């Protein structure tokens, strides 16, 4: 079974605010690395404290905070942004 990547409405809006090059790189990252047959946890890092249970993916200076739903094989992107702003 192949994992799928879905964007929350707020994350899609945040993604659209980024420059076009960053948008392309982030979408390519999800398409080539995460939306595959393999476990999406092989990349990224689990978050702790207030964000426990969520995963963080890193691409250059950008971070993507996601919820991995094992029962549906879905990686739900909740936030997308620059590393200085993403955890606020």
Token digits for 4?
A: 């799928």
Could you please state the CATH topology (level 3) that the domain comprising 4-82 is classified under: YaeB-like fold (3.30.2310)
Within a 10 A sphere around the Cβ of 88, how many other Cβ atoms?
Answer: 6
Residue boundaries of the structural domains of the chain: 4-82
Token digits for 1?
A: 């079974």
Contact at 8 Å (CB) between 62 and 82? yes
Q: Report pLDDT digits (tens) over 8-67.
A: 999 999 999 999 999 999 999 999 999 999 999 999 999 999 999 999 999 999 999 999
What is the three-class DSSP state of 53?
coil
Burial (CB < 10 A; 0-12, 13-18, 19+), residue 20, is exposed
pTM score, two decimals?
A: 0.91
d(CA 77, CA 55): 9
């Amino acid at each position: 079974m192949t994992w799928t990547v879905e964007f929350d409405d707020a994350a899609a809006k945040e993604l659209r605010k980024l420059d076009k090059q960053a948008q392309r790189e982030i979408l390519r990252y999800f398409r080539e690395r995460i939306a595959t047959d393999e476990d999406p946890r092989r990349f990224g890092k689990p978050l702790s404290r207030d964000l426990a249970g969520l995963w963080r993916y890193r691409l250059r200076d950008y971070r993507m905070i996601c919820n991995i739903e094992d029962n549906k094989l879905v990686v739900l992107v909740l936030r997308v942004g620059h590393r200085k702003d993403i955890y606020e």
